[in-house]
Amino acid sequence: MASKQPFADSDIADEAVRATCDDASICKRFATSKGYWTDLYVQYFVRQVGERKAPEINRGYYGRVKGMNLLIDAFLKKTQCDCQVVNLGAGLDTTFWRLKDENIMPKKFFEVDFPMIVARKIHNIKTKPPLSKPLIETHSTDALLLDGHSLDSDRYCIIGADLRDLPTLEEKLKKFQINPELPTLFLSECVLVYMTPEQSSKLVHWVADAFPTAMFINYEQKERFLSAGWESANALDMMTVYNMLPQEDVARIECLEFLDEKELLQQLLQHYCICWAVKDKLNLGEASILPS
């Protein structure tokens, strides 16, 4: 029985990681219900608004979402959408639908997560027309390629896979026509922190080796990327990102709820950072992707 203990511990740890998907989605659902930002699609993944969240949590998610969107949109502009996006640990993220509405879609948008989470997301897509219609509108044939743990269309693909199993991940991405020669944006909001240093290092190395023109955005230390084959890496703490956002919109959201402890928000935002690493074989100038 003792020999099975590590496996059981791993299962428990994985379940805790999967639970973070719901936690983040519920927080985003509540923040959007208060008007921090517009997300027309999160309601189809999280039906109930849920209990009230503290204002500093809502502002933290506002900064996180807006900061990620700033970098995503800059990459798409830099590549003129002649690129692909791979969202690692995507959970119930709605970025694809936002990009479709704003007409700034990449050639293909991939999502990867645990098979259990992917199965839930596919069920929601299948049963909610506002989610399925954009996929159908951007697909050239009558039928989508669909099974319990993957869904593939011309412009969107969701794959059930374990990021720690790189051979299987690579095989599945190839099966669904990922193109390593295209500029590729990898997104990883809060994934690497839940992997062992060895596992996350292998993932970052694999991306650097397999995609000659790529950008990797996540919350992480930039040193990890510089030691893993990336040409350059930059990082900003979330307080700096928050102050870089359009200040008229920041002023708007700061009027939504009274915040008693402004120092607490500052400490919270300074604790996290957003990092982006670049490989630029095509000389697109991705290293200077953010406006100064």
Q: How distant, in Å, are the alpha carbons of 15, 58, 147, 173 from that of 265?
A: 29, 10, 43, 39
Rounded CA-CA distance 118/279 in Å is 29
129-137 vs 115-127: helix axis angle to the nearest 10? 90
- In contact, 124 and 45? CB cutoff 8 Å: yes
Rounded CA-CA distance 84/86 in Å is 7
Is position 162 annotated in a ligand binding site? yes
Rounded CA-CA distance 67/65 in Å is 5
Rg (CA), the chain: 19
Is position 64 annotated in a ligand binding site? yes
Closest CA to 59 of 235, 275, 255: 255
Is position 189 annotated in a ligand binding site? yes
Rounded CA-CA distance 64/135 in Å is 26
Closest CA to 163 of 262, 83, 87, 234: 87
Strand 232-237: give its sheet, edge to edge: 145-147, 150-152, 156-160, 108-113, 84-88, 184-188, 213-218, 273-280, 232-237
DSSP 8-state class, residue 222: T
Closest CA to 26 of 94, 117, 97, 92: 92
Annotated binding residues for S-adenosyl-L-methionine: 64, 89, 162-163, 189
Residues contributing to the annotated binding site: 64, 89, 162-163, 189
